[in-house]
Structure formats: C-alpha cells, structure tokens
Structure 1
Amino acid sequence: MLQTRMKGAAALIEARLIEALSGAADQPVTHAMRYAVAGGKRLRGFLVIEGAALYGVPAGQAVHAAAAIEAIHAYSLVHDDMPCMDDDDLRRGLPTVHLKWDEGTALLVGDALQTLAFEMLADPACHPDPAVRIDLVAALARASGIDGMVLGQAQDIAAETAGRALSLAEITELQANKTGALIRWSAEAGARLGGADIAPLSAYATALGLAFQIADDILDVEGDVEKTGKRVQKDADAGKATFVSLLGLDGAKARAQALVDEACAALDPFGARADLLRDTARFVISRDT
C-alpha cells in the first residue's frame, strides 16, 4: 500500500514539475533543471500530499506544494554536490549536475529551482486563499534559509574546520536544520493547506527528520553504492562525526527506532487515518537508498 501510494504521488509531482518547466527557454540550464528534478523517492512531496489528505485536501491541489518542496530539495542537492560544498560526483546513480554540465550551470540550476518553488506556491491553483499561499511561502523561506537548511549547511561547513569532532547535541542541532527543516515543512504544509493546527504534524516530522538523517548515517556505513546511487563511506573517510561514530551502529539504530516510535505517537489524534504516515516513518529507517 505504501509503495503504491508513494509511486502515485511521485507521478503527480513529476507531472507538475514537467508542466512548470514546459515553457522554459531551450537552454542548457533548463535541460539541467529537468535532469536535477528527475527521480528520487519524493519523500518530502509525499509527506505534503498525505498530510493534506488528513484534512480533506485533494492530491490534485496539494501537488503544487509537493512539487515546490521537491524543487527546493533538488536545488539543495545540486548545490551540495558542488566542489565548493561536499564535492560529490554521483547522485541518484547518475553524474552530478556540475559534472554533466559545468559549475556555472549547476549554480544557476539551484538558483532557478529555488525561485520556481516559490512561483508554484504563489500560484492560485495551490490554494484559493492568498493568505494561505503567503503562509506557505513564508514558512518555506524560513525552512530553507538562514533559520533552517542554509544554517545547517553553514554549520556543517564550519564543522569541517573546527579542529574537533562535534558533540551529539551539536550534530542533532545541525541536522535538525540541514535536513529536518524541509521535512518538517513538508508535513506541516498539509495542515496549512487545510487551515488546521500544524502542531501534531510538526511533532511527527521533527522526529521523522532526525530518524531520516540517522538512517542516512547508517547507510553511509552499511549501504551499497549501486542501491543508494551515491558514494558511501564518505563521512568516515572525511573523519566527520556522525550519529554512528558517536552512538555506534547499534546505538544509532536504536535511536532511530525510538524516534520512529515518537513520530508515530504524535499521530495519535488522527487514529487509523494516519497509518500511511506511520508506515512512512518505519520506511525511513528500513530503506536501502
């Protein structure tokens, strides 16, 4: 059931992103944008659609916000892969954008995908009430900017030259910003679209986001490059502190499971209607990609 729903959501999101880029100029940057948004798990977009469903918002409406967060996520990956950041050569099993094209194009791709996300949120098709649309825009600006993802990335860069390994509390804060902020926005977006209290889905996504990152750290140790589609063992090779290096492999797995339990408990107000979101939390720590 979960995989079927995720595939269905991914197809909707893919179609919306293709539509958004359909009238763009026939330029290398446009081709690279299409390349950057193709594929992936679409987890963040799926969270938008399933969260919205709890409040009776149809997928056909929620897809605009779902595609917006996937555009932001793709931008973050394109920039993160560049030589001035993490310097990766493989993403989703394919050459990273700066290698397939060049660094200048990759920089522009990220810039254009970021602005495209806000364009989709501002579209009246996203929600008929402009107050709801501006709420989504403002929340995403915070989540993706200096109060969220950009802050986390800056903290990650600073850690590389800190001359010491980060503590568990510092890594938790870093990842809550770098990875968790966008996941949190994704879940909260459904409640925002439905005009409801964001607190339950926010609590769910806060735990889910940290579990997701711990699972990533575990995959970096145990993963297979052919399945993950990206380099593994890179954190250990770089000497970076991770949840695995601080908690041990078994400790990291136990912490991830505890966070999944916490995420599932946050959905109690929704009863069985939120079972797919509970399954999503369990999927996050059992995935091999």
Structure 2
Amino acid sequence: MRWLGRLWRIPVGRAAAVVVVMIGVVALVSLVWTPFDPRHADAYARWLTPSWPHLLGTDGTGRDILSLLMAGSRVTVLVAVCAGLVATAVGVLLAALGALTARPIRESVAVLVDILIAFPVLLIAMMISAVWGGSLWVVVWSVGIGYGVNIARVARAELRRVNRADFVLAARASGLTNGQILARHLLPNTAPVFIVQLSWSMAAAVLAEAGLSYLGFGAPVTTPSWGLLLSELQDYIAVHPLSVLWPGLAITATVFSLNLLGDALREATDPTLARGERRPQAHVPEVVA
C-alpha cells in the first residue's frame, strides 16, 4: 500500500482526494439532514438571492438550492460508485477472457470488445432509457457496461504481460487453475490499473448521469439530481444566472476531481513516475585489475 503514501505526497492528488471525500460526506449527511426539505416549494420564497437562511438562494418554486444540491449528491455518489463497480467487474471479466482462455475465445472477445467500443455510451443509454423509462439503474448498467469495455481493452494487455511472468508460469506448472492464478497472482499485480480505470469511469459516470438527466433520460423528475436541476434552471439563466452556477460548479468540481485523482493514482501506482523517487539503478561491480 505504498502507493497511498505516494498519492498523498502529490499535491493535485491530495486536493482531488479531499474534494471527493467531502462530496461523499455531504451525501451521507444529506441522508439525515438538509437545511430545508428539498421537495418543499414555498411560493413566498421564489428566486431569493443568497442570504443566511438560504445560503445559495432559491429556485423558481421556492426550493432551497443548497438542500437540492445536497440531496442531488446522493444520486451522484450512487451512480458513480455503482457504475464504477459494474464497469470494473465487466472489465475484469472481459480482460480475463481475453488473456487466459484459448485462442478462439480470445479472438472472439477481442472482436466483441472492438464492436462494443464503437458505440457511444450515451447513445446506448438514451436508447435503453427510451424503451425502459428514465431510471438511475438504467444509467448505472448502461454506463457501467459501456465503460467496462474500455477498461477491458486497457487491462487485457496488462493481464497478458503479467501472465507471461516467471512466477505465474511457475504457479501454472504447480497445478493451479486459471481461476486460482487470476485471483492469487494476476489481479493483485494488476490492481493499480483497475484502480486508476475505476476512478476515471466514475468521473465518466457522473458526467453521463448529469447529461442524461439534463436531457430527460436519467433520473426521474421526483429524484433530486444535479443534471435535472441544471435543466430546470437553464431557462432562467438570463434573469437568474447565479442559480445555474451552483449545479454547474458541483458537476464540474466532481468530474475534475475524479479525473485528477485518476491521474494522480496512475502516477502513484507507477514508481517510475512517482515524484521525488529515483528509479533504481543497476549495480555495476567494480573491476579490480
């Protein structure tokens, strides 16, 4: 776990991790407390500017924007975590099939990945949502499977590289099955690749959910969502531009933080890229005349 220490020593990674943790804490706090009921509309509090009772103001129905953002963070965290886990599971499965199975299966998986990766993830999610209706779980599965194909394409080469290592060949010669080799040797030695891809897929899931909700294909209208809030407030951007700023900043900060965290994780998990650490140099023995 030395890469955690290296990650903390990277300023960008440290700042991104702090932001991501803060968003998670806000989502947890919103489960039990928000300044106002995010679903409560007050006709006497329409379009209030930021003040002490309403720190970020209110929208056109009198709902508190801060409360809406806090409630929407639950959707963001749920989609990011679930879609990231689905993407990682799909990526591990396809990468393992493409690296450990017989040649016909490997080639079939490679063709399947190349075909699936050609379809835009958002387009597939919109088509599924149009058939099954807007749902967060539709977004989770469509985005997770879509980005899982990208993870498989990256991780397959890494699994094949580790699979040719001497310790893996020795484990196979000792009688271990492919499943045992995958669990004991391949996954632990390629975990940094999946961790980095997990962070990036979570950022893509947040952006995809916000975009789909903005277009009306994501979260239902009764579910607080940053993308849905942005869609509702955009009609009043010329009159009340500040109200549109907050959900836009929340989406931007979350996506940027997850992407920067992924970059920092890539640097922290690769000792040759870690800052402040020198590459190990080969020892050249002295020649005594």
Query: Is TM more than 0.5 here?
Result: no
TM-score normalised according to structure 2 size? 0.32
Structure whose alpha-carbon radius of gyration is higher: 2
Higher relative contact order (CA 8 A, sep 6+): 2
